[in-house]
């Protein structure tokens, strides 16, 4: 069992483009030369460039700058809460120290750099943290002790505002050259699978050693984030267990 499945057809155009970008970034970090996938990576990069060119419609639109501003707003909110919790973890008052530790530990469950995640991952992680703040008594008590209710309201509003602007951009993209974009989506899927399966083949041949082992794990982590997005949007269960990728023939 290597790669988790992902239904490309359910990804909106902007989401598909971001997914391709995330995969490209993972491969670059993993060193495409060592992975022996430089040619496959280049092919995926080329189709991303073509898709981005098609998406550059309505040049006068300020949607993208507004998306970036909305992302900065939620970044500042989550970073503010994180820094406050970390600071109170050293407070001389035992109650405030315990509250700071509770929130800091909870945030660490979602990684140390929520603000540095890709758009979709950050949206999901912030929602998970806010869900904890609404349902876990320990976190609810800690929020009260540290008087963080206003910070949580700002984080929730900022995350919702970002998501709304992101969906608007997706709609703009979807309205541009639908036939051509549909063809490019299919091409992008084929090139992604070629890259993915090449990594999987070398993983099998080399018994899962690094860099292939790490690359497979990182790709699956990205796929899982998008599956969570799709499952939440459609209120459907996550896909079944991944299907093994066969080794190359010949």
Question: In whole numbers, what is the pLDDT of the chain averaged over residues?
Answer: 85
Q: Please state the pTM of the whole predicted model.
A: 0.55
pLDDT of residue 176: 58
Q: From the centroid of its chain, how far is CA 8?
A: 15
| 153-187 pLDDT tens trace | 999 999 999 988 887 776 666 665 566 778 888 99
Identify the residue whose tokens are 């497979």: 216
| Residue 244 and residue 4 in contact, taking contact as beta carbons nearer than 8 Å | no
Output the pLDDT for position 182: 81
How do residues 26-62 score in pLDDT, each as one tens digit? 999 999 999 999 999 999 999 988 887 776 654 445 5
pLDDT in tens, 60-81: 455 678 888 999 999 999 999 9
pLDDT score of 138: 95
Strand partners, 243: 3
Cα angle for residues 32, 205, 199 (degrees, 5° grid):
30
Q: What is the pLDDT of residues 94-112, one digit of tens each?
A: 999 999 999 999 999 887 6
Helix ranges restricted to H, the chain: 13-30, 32-35, 38-55, 63-88, 94-108, 119-135, 137-146, 149-174, 178-205, 212-234
Beta carbons within 8 Å of 48's beta carbon, 6+ residues apart:
17, 20, 21, 24, 188
User: Which has the higher per-residue pLDDT, 15 or 57?
Assistant: 15
pLDDT of 234 reads 67
Q: What is the pLDDT of residue 100?
A: 96
């Amino acid at each position: 069992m290597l790669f988790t499945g992902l239904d490309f057809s359910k990804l909106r155009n902007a989401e598909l483009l971001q997914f391709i970008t995330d995969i490209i970034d993972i491969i670059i970090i993993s060193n495409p030369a060592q992975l022996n996938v430089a040619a496959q990576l280049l092919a995926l990069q080329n189709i991303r460039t073509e898709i981005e060119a098609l998406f550059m419609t309505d040049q006068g639109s300020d949607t993208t700058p507004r998306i970036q501003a909305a992302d900065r707003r939620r970044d500042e909110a989550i970073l503010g809460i994180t820094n406050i919790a970390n600071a109170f973890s050293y407070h001389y008052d035992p109650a405030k120290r315990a509250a700071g530790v509770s929130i800091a530990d909870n945030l660490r469950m979602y990684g140390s750099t929520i603000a540095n995640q890709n758009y979709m991952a950050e949206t999901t992680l912030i929602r998970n943290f806010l869900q904890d703040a609404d349902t876990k008594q320990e976190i609810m008590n800690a929020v009260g002790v540290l008087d963080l209710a206003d910070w949580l309201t700002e984080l929730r509003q900022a995350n919702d505002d970002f998501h709304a602007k992101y969906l608007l951009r997706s709609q703009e993209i979807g309205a541009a050259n639908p036939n051509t974009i549909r063809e490019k989506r299919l091409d992008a899927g084929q090139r992604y699978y070629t890259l993915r399966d090449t990594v999987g083949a070398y993983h099998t041949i080399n018994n899962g050693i690094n860099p292939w082992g790490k690359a497979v794990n990182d790709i699956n982590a990205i796929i899982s984030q998008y599956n969570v997005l799709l499952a939440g949007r459609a209120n459907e269960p996550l896909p079944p267990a991944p299907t093994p990728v066969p080794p190359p023939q010949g």
